[in-house]
Amino acid sequence: MVAFGKKLKERQIQEWQGYYINYKLMKKKVRQYAQRIQLGTSDRRHVLKDFSRMLDNQIENIVLFLLEQQGSLASRIAALGEQQPDIGKISELIEAYRAVGEDLLKLLFFVEINAVGLRKILKKFDKRLGYGFTDYYVRTRANHPYSQLQQVFKHVGIGAVVGALSRNLHELQNRQGSYLSIYDDPTLPLQEPVIDSIKAAIERLTHSTNFLNFLAQHALIIQDELPAPSEEQVDDQRYSFMSLLLNLANTFLYMVNTYIIVPTADDYSMSLGAAATVCGIVIGAMAVAQVFSSVYFSAWSNKSYFRPLVFSSVVLFLGNVLYALAYDLNSIWILLLGRLLCGLGSARAVNRRYISDCVPLRTRMQASAGFVSASALGMACGPALAGFLQTNFKIYKFTFNEDTLPGWVMAIAWLIYLIWLWITFKEPSHEPEKNDTPHQSNAENDALEKGLQQPLLVSSEEKIDEDGDQDCDDGEEAPVEHHRPANSIRSAYRLLTPSVKVQLLIYFMLKYAMEILLSESSVITTYYFGWSTSSVAIFLACLGLTVLPVNVVVGSYISNMFEDRQILLVSEIMVCIGILLSFHIIIPYSEPQYICSGLLMFVAAEVLEGVNLSLLSRVMSSRLSRGTYNGGLLSTEAGTLARVIADATITLVGYFGVSRLLNITLLPSLFICISSIIATCYTYNSLY
């Protein structure tokens, strides 16, 4: 991986050199602006006006050249279309159209590299000067009736050229068969590599804030930018749709496995002679093991995807069998051992790595969104399934009731999954790890910046950007060691900027608050309202079913109307309000109070999680986009630790009595929430 300035220089087409964004000059100007602001020799208005004018000139230069090239390509296609397609000239015409396609592909890459350069320089300006300039500039330029920015980011007009090229190639290839046009039947296949490459390039360019993109960022799977064509071919060779489906199924089943026991964990604990609040340890045992399993699964996925998934399925099968047998063995320790084994089978790190490393770029966003959707669906299905398992019978010496059936059902599910995995999974080829030497500096690319919205800003004292583009003086290149992936948790932690640490604190807070709400729900509702297991299951399932609709609203509408940082802060405040409303202080505790406050806290936490991970995927160092100790692992560990501490808190507080459980467990949630709000506000105030 190399700095963007060097990559831009290396990949420029020489005859077009004067029409690319002058990234080096603009980076130098940003550095000068920052120095002038610090010395007080320039004011904000002058800097913004001067930088806006410079950007306008750069974009105009790019767009005018783009239009000229589009016209040239259109003229060539029109001239080829006037030629008579005699039998002897068909092959010659096809090659001529392919040549136009190759030139169109070069033009698309020209647009893409300039779009990335514009995003990077806008991000750099906001970071160094502490201004929210990006949102203002994009909003005013993109929505103007004479917008030139739309030409760069929406590639206006190129679609017509692609359509004409595709239609003519299709008709020439079918001269001896059907004369149907692609417009008559859009499903007609066109076996043409150059058209496939063009479509892939257009899909990379079509990158705006929408529900699918928002959901994909929710998975914190960092994508590469400006991939070489050879990298896309490698992706296609390694990718298997069935293997992707198996990874998503693993994600779904694991989330079902996590939450299926929540409605009955307190009853199961009491039936084994323990207190009802021991359910916190029972539920949290899975998270404790996941802290360790995430690391070894992430490392294992460097060498294989199939073997870790097989191991995960076997361990989860055994863990669920032990969980179910604990009732007949009358042992709380067998119960805990079963849950620990289930946690040791957590292969979410493998699922993320498969999507990040093996799924082609053109479908990676959809796959990432599928990962999040599978998790949300599993979270809702787990408690709902527990609500249906209300029966009691024995077969031989084994008891099947509402406590043991979740274990038996999940054991059967994992056994079926294991057979399906063994038969259909296709192990992708693993490339040997490369040393990050100067000769291999292009082995990795910078992390893709998701859209044009401004991230949570970081300190201007940093020498290396979050995207790996080092602020070197002119003529200097970032040293190779600054681009190597982290090789330990400690080195990964050192790569975290202050803003990333704040966002991980927010992630910890929301996971802690959600775990407290979910894990103690059965105990609290039974104590205050006398709810049955079915009622608890319905409540938890309804909470889980809000995940996708909330993300639709935020990703499609709210994120287009407000800055991510504004949504982040408001969501934190709403979580805090939900926690405050959940306390039992003076008035009798009622079901409407519990349901409404819990729903408010859960929905606000879901909004907060989506926006927080979206920001995190854009500002996290690109050195954390690959390798064992990647950004996805760090966020998983932060969330898992929060769940472990929350579940342990429930069990410890339970010794003071169930009557005190609600208020005492909410106090740490309130404290952490207020701390995260203060940290967020402090980050903004220190930069503006």
Pick 444 or 479 by higher pLDDT.
479
Q: Which residue did the predictor score with more confidence, 123 or 528?
A: 528
Look up residue 14 and give its DSSP letter. G
- H or E element, residue 10: helix 4-11
* Average model confidence (pLDDT) across the chain: 77
Give one word for 432, left, alpha or beta, with left for phi > 0 and alpha for psi -120 to 50.
beta
Ranking 14-23, 229-238, 279-288, 600-609 by mean pLDDT, the lowest is 229-238
Task: Tell me how far apart the alpha carbons of residues 253 and 382 are, in angstroms, rounded to a whole number.
Answer: 9
- Mean pLDDT confidence for 432-455: 36
Per-residue three-class SS string for 392-412: CEEECCEEECCCCHHHHHHHH
pLDDT confidence tier of residue 449, bands split at 50, 70 and 90: very low
CA atoms of 377 and 7, how far apart (whole Å)? 41
Burial class (CB within 10 angstroms; exposed 0-12, middle 13-18, buried 19+) of 193: exposed
**Residue-by-residue DSSP string for 245-294:** HHHHHHHHHHHHHHHTTTTTHHHHHHHTTS-GGGHHHHHHHHHHHHHHHH
Q: Which residue has the higher pLDDT, 440 or 375?
A: 375
Cα dihedral 392, 398, 404, 405 in deg (nearest 10): -70
Q: Which residue has the tokens 């964990």?
A: 265
Q: What is the pLDDT of residues 206-243, one digit of tens each?
A: 554 355 555 555 555 555 555 544 444 445 566 788 99
| pLDDT value at 558 more than 50 | yes
pTM score, whole prediction = 0.68
CA 376 to chain CA centroid, nearest Å: 14
* Phi, psi (degrees; rounded to nearest 5) at 402: -65, -20
The total number of residues written for the chain in this structure: 688
Q: Do 668 and 578 touch, CB atoms closer than 8 A? A: no
3-class DSSP state of 447 = strand
The per-residue pLDDT for 581 is: 93
User: Which of 138-142, 227-231, 250-254, 520-524 bottoms out in mean pLDDT, i.e. has the lowest?
Assistant: 227-231
Per-residue pLDDT at 450 exceeds 60: no
Query: Cα 561–606–338 angle (5° rounding)?
Result: 160
3-state SS assignment for residue 157? coil
**Range from 62-66, 201-205, 291-295, 666-670 that averages highest in pLDDT:** 666-670
Calpha distance 539→178 (Å, rounded): 58
Q: Is the predicted pLDDT of residue 318 greater than 80, yes or no?
A: yes
Handedness of CA 236, 242, 246, 248 (dihedral sign): positive
Per the structure block, which two tokens stand in for 640?
A: 């898992």
- According to the model, what pLDDT value does residue 313 have? 95
